[in-house]
Structure 1
Amino acid sequence: MFNKELGNIFDKIDSKAVKPSSGGLGKDQKKLTNFETLYALVQCTRDLSPLSCGQCLAQAIQNFEGFCTENSQLGEYCNKKTIISSSSQVSANIDHLLADIVTKSLQGATFVKASYGNGKDTVYGLAQCRGDVDSKDCMECIQNAAKQVRKLCPNQSDARIWYDYCFLRHSQNNFFGNVDLSYGILYKNIANVTNPDVFNQELGNMFDRIDSKAVKPSSGGLGKDQKKVTDFETLYALVQCTRDLSPMSCAQCLAQAIRNFEGYCSNSKGCRVLYSSCYVRYELYPFFFPLEGQFPNNKGHSLKKSVIIHH
């Protein structure tokens, strides 16, 4: 529904922007639900002809599909120590493996671990969606991840890719059941909370609660919760381990991920840590499903990305 309305509003304001009398500007708004109104604006530099303005806007809007959806890629890791030839048996086995993972996702699987090949040419793969994501979005994310990981890491047998909705990796090493903290990605909101002592206490309490949920065998590795921390702010947090981990290994991964908050995310309004074995995130807006009827309050704020490498 949202994407359809977004497409309609861009069609309308693009047609306004290309009119010579508009100064290159088009803007509009539309009420989507009782809680949400969509606002959009486009503008071209006024030296452009209507045709050139239309071309520029079309290209800009095309970028939304790849970058501005919830399936946006968060990062990838191509292990430069695992170089393979594109014509090797290992490379062919990776293609077979990824095709098998995609097939299982098309059949409704939200977690897949698989292997393909024999002997030293065997490759292992894992794909998992965030536990709150529906099966359709999961399937689309895994399909895209399988395609992009080969494009981004064509000559590495060890490769990983992270999205908002899913994670996928493949390797010649059998990593199933092992905690992998060798490489991590961190994002934080550069804006800070106004009362850090109270906020950090509430954040610690919340992670204690959702960690205990995530390590239960019946949870699928997922823990999430929300709590009102002021009259105007609600804290949302989610953790998840890959489902091949034991409860103890899951707890170990989450503990390391959360430890990064103290040094890197301290007092930030939002932060996430992504490892190959677990994922941790908190925000002051709803980001997991089911969503509540409000928009992120991030006006004027931006995210900072960093990488963790443990030797």
Structure 2
Amino acid sequence: MAALSQLVLVTAFLAAALLPLGMAATTYPIGSFCSESGMNYGDLNSSEAVVRRRSVNFVVSDLVAKARTGGGFATSRAGRGYDAFYGLAQCRGDVSGGDCDACLAQAAKQIVSNCNYTSDSRIWYEYCFMRYYNYDFIGEVDTREDASVTMINWQNMDNPKAFQKAAGKAMGKATAQAVAVGRGGLGRAKEQYTPFVSVYALAQCTRDLAPPACARCLSEIVSKFDKTCNSAQGCQIDYSSCWARYEIYPFYFPLEAGSRATIDMSKYTKQSMASTSRRSHHCCLVLVAVSLAAILLPMAMATTISMSPIGTFCWNPSYNEMSSGEAIARRRSINSVVSDLAAKARAGGGFATSSAGRGIDAFYGLAQCRGDVSGGDCDACLAQAAKQMVTNCNYTLDSRIWYEYCFMRYVDFNFFGEMDTRTDASVTLRQWPDMDNPMAFQKAVGKATGKAVAHAVTMGSGGLGRAKEQCTSFVNVYALAQCTRDLAPPLCAQCLSTTVSKFAEACGSGQGCQIDYSSCWVRYEIYPFYFPLEANRQAPTDLTKYTKAASSAS
């Protein structure tokens, strides 16, 4: 069905400021998103529309009921097949149960009223968020800017650099808390700016996200603060999967004075992709633009380890297509090698080499996990690699497969201890968009990767290096470098240097980038992706937002 763009304008007039503060925070939305304005099911009388409206009504009411007993968070589903709808509701983690209930009850009414049963509907309040969609988005990271809310305080601070530094520290502490175990995705922090002024920050993710996905989501928000918020006294960016805010007054609960009060947001104005004139009165003006491309969502972002390879290399001939005695012997050798690698790596700390066969029928294999992942994740990754490599490459002479957590290879000659940086047998992954200040960002990336490489070639490191470098007051760069453990330190250094030398051309100023050869790999991000996370949480990393920049040969 054709999708039309829609512009949703919500204006909270000056009279709203005269209401009790708690009522303002739970009654009036600060933003809404409604897709497909020409195909809302509220205006159709077909049996399909009736069924879908029934599913939507069930989901939103079920979310309210479940969140009441679920600590302010709930997911729901109704319908089957094309008529299925999925929903998520979450309150800000610091608000009371009563405020949460009131906010979600209002959201359930308003989301249907505002969007008239469109297929993807979202609504933001000061205390809660609700969304439904006819696609299973649970566990995915959603940071679409055209479906987000940005609110900025009108006044700027007198010393921009010093204030941004304090705001960056506060936000960094809040995001670190948000990804910590047992925090429910909520972080709060305070940082002193002057003897008289402090910065208060709050960061939160929806509770369906794994900690690394939460860290990535929040890092994407915080990376926007430099340009979007500048030195504003307060700023807030809300995506559908996470939100972050700072102020120069205590706005989260419990307040420092121990009182329970909600927040008056009437001094804010909404920044939007569409321009709008400023009102003479300080009302809250919310503008959400929905473009045609907005209905296109990325592939599912799993909260568990991805079992899909990020790259494969298969070099002919394929012995599965031959029935000669030689082909049978070689298939037997390959099967022995890949199964042996998975078993040996389990006892070898995530690294193994193996060989099978004799003479021209001999095959050699190597398997290695990323040095920071858990034993369980390593075992699962290599078990999958052993199956998938044979399936993908069909018993070719030289086969290689890369996953986020592991690498496996076999070939018909002894390659152990050799450095391999063939570009046609490598993987490059680049994250979009680019950072705003390319030169400064690349400088920070260079420092982070340089430190990681230096750690990786140090004796006793197992070929693994991790590092962190501050780029701006709000943005850090995290880097990981690793070599396969069969390489001597000088060869490891040569391999990693070759990899890093490609970053300027391959990565530009992308927010994240990864280049994997067969002997070493290097990656950087603006969020903590390696283990242990800054909050010491062991969880897998989701790479599905990446696009493949250089496909492997096959």
Q: Which residue of 1 aligns with 2:525?
A: 283
Alpha-carbon distance, 1:33 to partner: 4.4
Residue 306 of structure 2 is aligned to residue 306 of structure 1: no
For 1:106-185, what aligned pairs fall within 5 Å after superposition?
Answer: 106-107=346-347, 109-182=349-422, 183-185=425-427
How many residue pairs get aligned? The number is 270
Alpha-carbon distance, 1:211 to partner: 1.2
Alpha-carbon distance, 1:204 to partner: 1.4
Residue 452 of structure 2 is aligned to residue 210 of structure 1: yes
Map Cα deviations across residues 211-265 of structure 1 (whole Å, 9 max, x no partner): 1111123111111111222121111000101011111111111111111111111
Q: Specify the structure having the higher radius of gyration (Cα).
A: 2
For 1:16-35, what aligned pairs fall within 5 Å after superposition?
Answer: 17-18=78-79, 24-29=85-90, 32-35=184-187
Question: Could you state the TM-score of these two structures normalised by the residue count of structure 2?
Answer: 0.45
Matching residue's letter, 2:500: I
Match of 1:157, SS state, is strand
Match of 2:474, SS state, is coil
CA RMSD of aligned residues (A): 3.0
Q: 1:175 to 1:125 in 2, by over 3 A?
A: same
Match of 1:158, SS state, is strand
Structure 1 window deviating more from structure 2 (214-223 vs 235-244): it is 214-223
Q: Which residue of 1 aligns with 2:499?
A: 257
Distance in 1, matches of 2:75 and 2:439, equals: 47
Q: Which residue of 2 aligns with 1:195?
A: 437
1:13 to 76, 88, 105: 76
Alpha-carbon distance, 1:38 to partner: 2.0
Residue identity over aligned pairs, in percent, reads: 36
Gap regions ≥5 residues in structure 2 = 1-69, 94-183, 188-204, 210-239, 241-299, 537-543
Distance in 2, matches of 1:129 and 1:23, equals: 39
Map Cα deviations across residues 43-87 of structure 1 (whole Å, 9 max, x no partner): xxxxxxxxxxxxxxxxxxxx777x96345421111113x432465
| Conservation of the 8 A alpha-carbon contact between 1:241 and 1:254 | yes
| Conservation of the 8 A alpha-carbon contact between 2:313 and 2:552 | no
Match of 1:270, SS state, is strand
Matching residue's letter, 2:548: K
Distance in 2, matches of 1:302 and 1:139, equals: 24
| Conservation of the 8 A alpha-carbon contact between 2:312 and 2:552 | no
Map Cα deviations across residues 88-126 of structure 1 (whole Å, 9 max, x no partner): 211111101111112223435310011111111110000
Distance in 1, matches of 2:471 and 2:307, equals: 29
| Conservation of the 8 A alpha-carbon contact between 1:90 and 1:157 | no
Alpha-carbon distance, 1:165 to partner: 0.6
Match of 2:510, SS state, is coil
Question: Could you state the TM-score of these two structures normalised by the residue count of structure 1?
Answer: 0.78
Q: 1:108 to 1:64 in 2, by over 3 A?
A: farther
| Conservation of the 8 A alpha-carbon contact between 1:28 and 1:39 | no
Match of 1:289, SS state, is coil
Match of 1:253, SS state, is helix
Residue 206 of structure 2 is aligned to residue 37 of structure 1: yes
Alpha-carbon distance, 1:27 to partner: 2.4
Gap regions ≥5 residues in structure 1 = 1-7, 42-62, 295-300
| Conservation of the 8 A alpha-carbon contact between 1:149 and 1:161 | yes
Q: Which residue of 1 aligns with 2:200?
A: none
| Conservation of the 8 A alpha-carbon contact between 2:466 and 2:480 | yes
